[in-house]
Structure 1
Amino acid sequence: MTRVSTDWQGNDLFSLDHADECFRNALRRVATYLNSGANRLCSLDWLKQNDDCLARIFEQNGLDDQLIDYFVSNRPEGIRGAARPPDDVRAEHEFYGRFQFQKRRKPDRMHVTFTSTEAFREWGLQRLHPPATDIKALVDLFDEDPVKAFSQAYTNYLVKNYWHNTVHSLLQKINELNFHEFGGDARYDSDFAADNIANILLLRAYGCVINCRGRISLANSDICRRVFALNRCNRVFAERAIRRNEDQDPLAKFQERSWRFRRQVANALSAELLCRGAAVSDIAVYLTGGIAKRKDNRGGYYHTGSVVIRLNQIYINTGIPPYLEDSSDLERPQKRLATIRKNQHMRVADILSHTATRYASILSNDSGAREYAEQSLSMLETKLKFW
């Protein structure tokens, strides 16, 4: 055991060794999905098993060697020397890992390799935390067996991270070599799509059924909510943002904060709709109005408009303004930061409730919307076979 998380009691029990097994667990789930179907090596039924059972299935069938590889890169290619660079350099240039997908023969299969950076591996462990949830089974699990609970949560988190990057790489053809060519609106649209599809694939990676016509059984909804609740267990990207120490002007910081709010809303709404049996293949979040300077003593900027949602080409104006106070300014009193985060959570919840209710009504009353949802999801899942 080489390094422990500092964010939870009993932290001497969960190390980088445990984390490395979570990386492998997540790869097994991705590889199982990619290699399932007629005349393939895996079965989708395996995904209903817990991580330990899936690992045993792989061991019994010799599939680790055939389907997955996991490595940790000490330094990015092209950089020499033993000295570790400052954290802001690591955050900017040595954070993102690399995926490789290879079609291999005898037997035919898709082999998945993930090479993590030291920064992503270490900071991910440092910022591992218990998910905020009122689901009794999860609360009890973290109380009774925290190592098992954190293993499940971190594996879940990595599965979605893997899927997000898989969508970028295999579906959108955006990778570590060309991502800088896709800034501005292209970045926003690609991330809206990747987050939504990753949510769909996250549920599929745990054997869940995806519904899109606005109906779902209570049991299936509860399973979906459990999967998404476990996923909210890590702030590694917040850690990266802190260590990047970007020297942005106030307006640029506000614009970036606006984008992060839009993405937060889109991701949370995607998950909520899946839990309500109303999966969408298309989602985006916009802000009407514009940016204006505050005239009171707080200074800074605010947004004059409201939040607009696009779901399967249907536009819904929520009439609710965004909440764009800065919750990352560590110079503010902790009590104020806690209030900001609480207010932002409540604002997002209001937007989700309003939008999900409106979309449910549309599905209920518009057979064309139901047919579009079903057909577009079917077409998306055809594309998600990847090979």
Structure 2
Amino acid sequence: MTDLYPAVHEPAVETWPSLAPPRSNPVRRAGAAAAIRFIARDLPATITMDNRTYGRGGPGMLVHRTGPFLDRLGQDAGSGFGEAYLAGDWDPEPGTDLADLLMPFAERFSSDQDRRLLPKWAQSLRWLVTRSLPTDQENDRAGARENVSRHYDLSNAMFTEFLDPSLTYSAAYFDDVTADLATASYDELSQAQLRKLDSILDAAGVRSGSRVLDIGCGWASLAIRAAQRGAWVTAITIASQQALLAQRRIADAGVSDRVQVALRDYRDQIGVFDAVLSVEMIEAVGEKYWPVYFDAIERRLAPGGIAVVQAIVMPHERMLATRNTFSWVQKYIFPGGLIPSVKVIEQITAEHTGLQAHVIRHLGADYARTLRVWRDRFIDHWPQIADLGFDPTFRRMWEFYLAYSEAGFRAGYLDDVQLLLTKR
């Protein structure tokens, strides 16, 4: 993977005010340094800081600016590490892939208690250096539209540069997920995305004449695929620019007579459908509204209807431990988002609806492969993306987001599941 930015990056703070060097606090800086040393004792990676190395060896991390790096960690443990990367305070050692470097950290989150990043007593003090969820990311109707627009309306052209031709922005379904990630190809991704779309339609029993609701339709790849089977599709999104491109793609595919795209919140949809589909949209709903979301799915299902929800999930204990923490991903990528667990989905559907949910497929390893292709293409196509008006800090932000996510799926800290929902 070719490096396209300087070894030490300087963000434009007028554009990225959150990346301005934080005010130094000697106590917090010392605490962050102690945490780094503690973490590194059993970490299969190498952290080089002030010409000293920490860790047991492995993928290398080079800290360029120790003071700001430690200040960011000490100020906000939830976002500081990622912000330090955006600011150019650290980089992978030359020749080290970013996701490979992040893997040891992700593995600690997915492992047993005695191998977690911090001991239990230290975890109990995290509140001192973590921020709670902000009140301005509420997912009521107005807030949800603002939160979703900040990501999905970012630039249709930018997404087109790295997604496959179907513009499917979710985990693909590969033939072989055991192959070397370095061999993952764009052509392979294109076929895997179509396989994923078909797996959802097959599970929901979508065929000619089926009435289908696609909640959070993205750029309409699933709606188009369903219409090509002869289904009648209502596809809804609350991202205005996304809706415009979805309509154009539907027209180009020749299925405008079978697909209606609506700029509509899932809470406002009416009617009943034979199949209700929702692919990686629940992560943007917010914990407060999960019962509302599943109630809406149940209300839209015709008698005998089937719903399929594809969702990114995390272990239930980790979800409970982090659900009130303002994370780097929420701050920079998905405002208002929260990843659920399979257990909480089962609990909510059992307690608040008449739906029965069970997992029919795990796609965690597939998502790691999907993310690797996206990241490779994003970097390869960076000149074209930069021409759209995005700066080098944006490039670092998205590279970190894609690599961070890939590491989470590779480590098993994250999974992606397809759930079948039927009325009890």
* TM-score of the aligned structures, taking structure 2 as reference length: 0.23
TM-score normalised per structure 1: 0.24
Query: Comparing both chains, which one has the higher relative contact order based on Cα–Cα distances under 8 Å and sequence gaps of 6 or more?
Result: 2
- Higher strand proportion (structure 1 or 2): 2
Higher helix share: 1
